Amino acid sequence: MGFISGGGQNLVTEDVTVVEGDVATISCRVKNSDDSVIQLLNPNRQTIYFRDFRPLKDSRFQLVNFSNSELRVSLTNVSVSDEGRYFCQLYTDPPQEIYTTITVLVPPRNLIIDIQKEIAVEGEEIELNCTAMASRPATTIRWFKGNKELRGKSEVEQWSDMYTVTSQLLLRVGREDDGVPVICLVDHPAVKDLQTQRYLEVMYKPEVRVSKNYPVQGLTREGEPLELSCSVFGKPQPTDMRWLRVDDEMPQHVVLSGTNLLISNLNKTDNGTYRCEASNVVGKSYEDYMLFVYDTTATTEPAVHGFTQLPNSAEELDYGDLSDSRAGEEGSIRTVDHAVIGGVVAVVVFAMLCLLIILGRYFARHKGTYFTHEAKGADDAADADTAIINAEGGQNNSEEKKEYFI
């Protein structure tokens, strides 16, 4: 807003911000009015209204109010070309003039999300681009995945007095992202809650879960039945699911019915690891159940249930996490294993102690002193030469040993 005053009178107006296509209202107000003439001029300084008369033929300008203290005019269907300074003039001596600025906002005309891959595979990084076209001023683009805000990278292009903004988002997807919306939201003074979204479609390898239907709790005892159930889901839905026994053949009396495995009469030969395995076009997964058959008289309750989950196939173990929750009867198995190991260690320690005692007594019996006759007579010699002569003499007399030095 520009302002000039004089003669004890003054003009007042305000700047106007309007969205393209809406109505802008310009007000020229006079303080301490003395019935001087008020007029309104456009940015080209053409008279829009002189008092209550409109010389300009643009019918979009309409008189809202006229009095000695105010001239108020509306401009309908505002466009970008209407932007600029509008002047209020008061014919006094000296004349007074003030200007107001009309700013036209243009919301984005199109908001588009472009996704690099319509269907992604778990673990892949995909690229999404959101474009807000022809806005004024330039928009700010924000990304959300569900309720979580993400950070993108924006580029701004200017065409004449319009701006096009493109924001790029790189996103690594997982199975939890399947069906989750990715939202592109625009922050712009001309519009509220302008957004568009795309739903992610992510393929992932199967998830396998083995559950024990019977017995629900307690030990798996000899002579009793065992029923396991395998639930499988993935995207796409797995088409290949099977039961197998790890490192051994499946017992002939095992009944496989759909996703269930049934052993009607357990015996010790059934001990082992039973695996439910499933695969789809993305990969293979499985979960193991470790079976230990107890005697009919066993009463010890297991610590946890008997499952070993290996979510990745053998070929993919280097690339995945390995989670292991042990068998349903593993608490009792560990008790048995610890007892056996403790007994073996005790036997080994006892054997070593016995061996040490025997060796000590042997060395004690054969302990003795050993002498040589090479320096016999040296003890009574006054010096080294005499000792050598005495030693030689002793050798000649005893004829026990002869040595020749060359």
Task: Show me where the domains of the chain are located.
Answer: 11-105, 110-200, 205-291, 351-405
Q: How many CB atoms lie within 10 A of CB 27?
A: 18
Position 2 scores a pLDDT of 56
Question: 167: closest CA among 111, 118, 205?
Answer: 111
Question: 324: closest CA among 287, 368, 364?
Answer: 287
Position 319 scores a pLDDT of 32
Dump pLDDT digits (tens) for 361-374.
Answer: 777 776 554 444 44
Strand, coil or helix: 314: helix
Q: Fold for domain 110-200? A: Immunoglobulin-like (2.60.40)
Per-residue pLDDT band at 323 (split at 50, 70, 90): very low
Mean pLDDT of the chain: 83
Position 384 scores a pLDDT of 53
- CA 383, CA 381: separation in Å to the nearest integer? 6
Asked whether 238 and 279 are in contact (CB, 8 A), the reply is: yes
Bigger pLDDT: 352 or 123? 123
Looking at the structure, give the CATH architecture of the domain made up of residues 11-105: Sandwich (2.60)
Question: 210: closest CA among 230, 192, 193, 190?
Answer: 230
Per-residue pLDDT band at 197 (split at 50, 70, 90): very high
Position 6 scores a pLDDT of 47
Position 218 scores a pLDDT of 83
Distances from the Cα of 279 to the Cαs of 241, 286, 312, in angstroms? 7, 9, 10
- CA 73, CA 353: separation in Å to the nearest integer? 113
168: which 2 tokens?
């790029």
Per-residue pLDDT band at 229 (split at 50, 70, 90): very high
Dump pLDDT digits (tens) for 265-312.
Answer: 999 999 999 999 999 999 999 999 999 999 988 776 554 445 654 444
* CA 234 distance to own-chain centroid: 20
Q: Where are the beta strands (DSSP E) in 327-401?
A: none
CATH superfamily to which 205-291 belongs? Immunoglobulins (2.60.40.10)
Asked whether 115 and 202 are in contact (CB, 8 A), the reply is: no
Bigger pLDDT: 294 or 94? 294
- What percentage of the chain reaches a pLDDT higher than 70? 78
Position 360 scores a pLDDT of 80
Query: What mean pLDDT do residues 43-63 have?
Result: 95
Task: Report if pTM > 0.75.
Answer: no
172: which 2 tokens?
């690594």
Do the domains 205-291 and 11-105 match in fold?
yes
- CA 273, CA 346: separation in Å to the nearest integer? 31
Q: Where are the beta strands (DSSP E) in 215-357?
A: 226-235, 240-245, 255-257, 260-263, 272-279, 284-291, 307-310
pLDDT at 387 over 80: no
